[in-house]
Amino acid sequence: MKRTDKKSVRRKGGAVTIDEVAALAKVSPMTVSRVINGHSKVRDTTREKVMAAVNKLGYVPNAAASSLAAAQDARIALIYTDPSGAYLRELLMGTLHGAARSAAQLVIADWDELGVGTERKAARALARKVAGVILPPPLCESKTVIDELVKAGVHVVAIAAGRFDPDISSVRIDDFLAGKEITSYLIKMGHTRIACIKGNPSQSASTRRFEGYQAALKEAGIPLDTALVRQGYFTYRSGLPVAEELLALRKPPTAIFAGNDDMAAAAVSVAHRRGIDVPRDLSVVGFDDSSAATTIWPELTTIRQPILAMADAAIDILLRAIRRKESEPRVVVHQVAAHQLVLRDSVAPPHTASGKKS
């Protein structure tokens, strides 16, 4: 006679509880719980009764209560270092979606704020707060960060890393293949003087993409012209001077493959300022399909990373790891998501190929 009592004094909002649903459906709260959580051992007729009651009452489970009871405090953190890039924001949205879908609680944290002291301290602090961590670049490239995290007992999954650390799970695209694919596309369009603006050398994705670029050239029998290869840092600003150099060359490239969209946008901007039309006089391609790709004119041909799906996958991996009993062996998963070549307006056949000046 404890639960069926009148509403307790400490109840606040008029939220519907599992007991009310149970009462209406004339079953035990336990059965309602089973229905809600999709357990199999429930008779269909019972399930229907319960669902009817749930809908009638507009019952929504109390997340706090269930995670408390289930001891499944599935809190996951997304740790970033450099909140600038358009890329991070996409990732954030994706993770948020995935977390909502899985009833995981997402914590967003800045590694630098976390690690006021040493990295070890930061890792420990984090370990107390969450059970799993999603690590985007460049954090996921840092062996020390990963080690501390793992040592602190947190489950970790690297997202969008160029190479994968065998110790931790990862979700990524094949940067090499993608880089090769988009370069080959440029070649197919008739380009042979294709420049490359590499991304931040400290992130291995940059290297993978560049290797893809080289492979495509090689496959087409085009010798690598080092004069056409420049170093950028994934930022818009870093793309400006190198694009400037490239376009000031006596024999400028007819196409530029930038390591990401931000640098590609910089190249387009520089081209425009020099009176070079994109794509007529210069083709430009980016990488990531971040918001920068469509926030310029012409919109960029680029490689899309399926961030949303990748974030979802990362969360799934984490959740599975967290819920695994301690007796079961630890499992490391490496997942490669399919990228996609997105054709937009920043590419055309090279000017010289289609005839003299129009």
Partner DNA sequence: ATGAAAGCGCTAACAA
Partner DNA sequence: TTGTTAGCGCTTTCAT
Work out what residue 334 binds among its own copies, DNA, none; the CB cut-off runs from 5 to 8 Å by kind.
none
Residues 318-347 that bind its own copies (CB under 8 A): none
Each residue of 176-203: b (16+ CB within 10 Å) or e? bbbbbbbbbbbbebbbbbbbbbbbbeeb
For 226, the token pair is 């080092």
Q: Is the bond into 252 cis (omega within 30 degrees of 0)? A: no
CB of 61 within 8 A of CB of 36?
Answer: yes
Residue 245 binds DNA (CB under 7 A): no
Size of the site for DNA (CB under 7 A): 38
CB of 78 within 8 A of CB of 136?
Answer: yes
Residues 220-239 that bind its own copies (CB under 8 A): 236-237
Residue closest to 104 by CA, chosen among 72, 134, 79, 149: 72
Provide, rounded to whole angstroms, the least separation between the CB of residue 50 and DNA. Answer: 9
Provide, rounded to whole angstroms, the least separation between the CB of residue 61 and DNA. Answer: 4
Work out what residue 107 binds among DNA, its own copies, none; the CB cut-off runs from 5 to 8 Å by kind.
its own copies
Residues 278-297 that bind its own copies (CB under 8 A): 291-292, 294-297
Work out what residue 272 binds among its own copies, DNA, none; the CB cut-off runs from 5 to 8 Å by kind.
its own copies
x/- track of binding to DNA for residues 19-58 (CB under 7 A): x------xxxxxxxxx-xx--xxxx-xx------------
- First-to-last alpha carbon distance for the chain, in angstroms, is 89
Provide, rounded to whole angstroms, the least separation between the CB of residue 77 and its own copies. Answer: 10
| 63 Ramachandran zone, left/alpha/beta (phi>0; psi -120 to 50) | alpha
Is 250 strand, coil or helix? Answer: coil
Work out what residue 297 binds among its own copies, DNA, none; the CB cut-off runs from 5 to 8 Å by kind.
its own copies
Work out what residue 103 binds among its own copies, DNA, none; the CB cut-off runs from 5 to 8 Å by kind.
none
* Contacting residues toward its own copies, per CB under 8 A: 10-13, 15, 58, 60, 62-65, 67-68, 71-73, 75, 83-84, 86, 89, 92-93, 96-97, 100, 105, 107-109, 124, 128-129, 131, 236-237, 240, 262, 265-266, 269-270, 272-273, 275, 277, 291-292, 294-297
